[in-house]
Amino acid sequence: MTEREVKEYIEQVSTYGSILGLDSIRMLLGYMGNPQEQLKFIHIAGTNGKGSVLAYVSTILTTAGYRTGRYLSPVISEYREKIQVNGKMISKAALCEGITYIRECVTKMEAEGNPSPTLFEIETALAFWYFKKKKCDIVVLETGLGGILDATNIITNTLVAVITSISYDHMAFLGNSLTQIALAKAGIIKDDAIVVSAVQQEEAARVIEQKCAEHKCQLVVSKKPQQVKYGLKKQTFCYKERKKLSISLAGLWQPENACVAIEVCDALTQKGFVIREEQMQKGLLHTTWNGRFTLLHQKPYFVMDGAHNEDAAKRLKESIEVYFPNTPLIYIIGVLKDKEHEKILQITAKRAAHIITITPPDNPRAMQAYELAIEAREYNPNVTVADSLEEAVEMAILLAGDKCGILVFGSLSYLGRLQSIVLNKWKTIKR
């Protein structure tokens, strides 16, 4: 298949929607010889923080000399970001080769009267195929939705199962209580794995403890970082006996995510991996993760963040209070209509000097900018609708002048395109 044919095939398959369950992915991987059975995994589930923990852990492992695959979603700038080895995206040639092979397997499935796999199932199978092809020592794997019925949960060779912060999101699929959501997330826990959990609310913590007992797994709960010094370009903290650790990711929650990653790496040493202390520290410092309180520009400050649910909005508000306590902020907000947009606005809108709403482009789930503006005016009268991302950026810069900062958030889906607009505007990025 050519690049164009691959793109057309992906667009076609994307219309099949999302279906929870493992039957289809199991059958597809069976046709492919079950490449996932020849890989070892760190499997990450949770509501917020999955991607950041994935970034920290995979960077540390690469720094330690291991060939490390990582599979993530959603992406920010480029489709091929989903599948990486040692921080490098799957090549265009490998993407075409893998999708061609998988389409042949899907055709055989369909010929036997079986339903077509979803796009996420095909992407997950592609990732396993590629990681096997590249002979990865270990794969850091992020769930797509939930855990127990997520396509990634077809794996059996889980060395460490990671549960990041659990809160309310995707309730239509996972349930309306924290217990139900935690049960779905904790479904990735398997026998013989070490389980690393972020600090959880009591209801979620109880579920994780029960699942660990059922599978006779060691449970490690990360602790809070100490002596944290926050900054937009560099943050330092201490964790247990480790002193003066540094990270380059901004955001109030990033030291906590880094602590989870440290516990994951310590758990891997119990599984035979060798990670020296200097490799751990270097990996933490060099970790990058786009779209999570990312500083794009200074004068004016231009920050983008993927806060798209209630818990993430609360954390974003806390970060604003720490990093911009006395700075008026211009918001650019775009959301998906199936997200908790009203709660996000309740938490964040009053702090804004002005709000610009946009419609996330090329997304059938996008909430229209004018509808979001109507909601936003319930909490802040200073709201303007922009017809495009370019117009929103220009408007925000004019409104910001020399006194305000600019904050973009609401959905990860449009941040890559917005980032390109901003970088083209200033021809530089400062972090």
CATH of the domain at 78: 3.40.1190.10
Structure tokens belonging to residue 370: 């004018």
Any bridge partners for residue 139, and if so which? 41, 69
Strand residues in 88-222 grouped as ranges (E): 88-89, 138-142, 158-163, 194-197, 218-221
DSSP sequence for 309-350: SHHHHHHHHHHHHHH-TT--EEEEE--BTTS-HHHHHHHHGG
Alpha carbon distance 322, 239 (integer Å)? 21
Q: Is residue 281 part of a domain?
A: yes
Pair 113, 164 in one domain = yes
Q: Which domain holds residue 162?
A: 3-286
**What pLDDT does 291 receive?**
85
Whether 195 and 46 map to the same domain: the answer is yes
One domain for residues 191 and 58: yes
End-of-domain residue from the set 259, 286, 313: 286
175 pLDDT exceeds 70? no
In a domain, 141, yes or no: yes
Adjacent-strand bridge partners of 336: 366
Position 298 confidence tier, pLDDT thresholds 50, 70, 90: confident
Estimate the share of the chain in helix, then strand, then coil, as percent rounded to the nearest 5.
45, 20, 35
Say whether both 228 and 373 belong to one domain: no
Q: Does 81 share its domain with 149? A: yes
Q: Which residues pair with 229 in a beta bridge?
A: 236
pLDDT number for residue 170: 57
Decide if 88 is inside a domain: yes
Angular region, 245: left φ>0, alpha ψ -120 to 50, beta rest: beta
- Domain of 364, CATH number, reads 3.90.190.20
Give the number of residues written for the chain: 431
Q: Specify if 41 maps to a domain.
A: yes
* 312 φ, ψ (degrees, to nearest 5): -65, -35
Helix and strand element counts for the chain (H, E): 15, 17
Same domain? For 250 and 329 the reply is no
Residue 207 lies in a domain: yes
CB atoms < 10 A from the CB of 210, how many?
14
Do residue 361 and residue 401 come from a single domain? yes
Specify the DSSP class assigned to residue 64. T
pLDDT tens per residue across span 333-364: 999 988 889 999 999 999 999 999 999 998 88
Q: How far is CA 114 from CA 18, 31, 413, in A?
A: 16, 13, 32
pTM over 0.75: yes
What is the predicted pLDDT for the residue at 171? 57
Tokens of 45: 């589930």
Nearest to 383 by CA among 395, 374, 392: 374
Residue 40 lies inside a defined structural domain of this protein: yes
Shared-domain flag, residues 257 and 216: yes
Among 263, 286, 309, identify where a domain stops: 286
Domain boundary among 251, 286, 321: 286
d(CA 261, CA 277): 13
pLDDT in tens, 40-62: 999 999 988 999 999 999 999 99
Asked whether residue 365 falls in the same domain as residue 279, the answer is: no
Q: How many domains does the chain have?
A: 2
Is there a single domain that holds both residue 83 and residue 228? yes
Element (H, E) at 141: strand 138-142
| Domain annotation covers residue 58 | yes
Helix, strand or coil, per DSSP, at residue 238: strand
My answer on whether 254 and 200 are in the same domain is: yes
Q: Does 218 share its domain with 304?
A: no
- Per-residue pLDDT, averaged over 244-257, amounts to 95
Residue 431 domain-assigned (yes or no): no
- Looking at residue 353, what DSSP letter applies? E
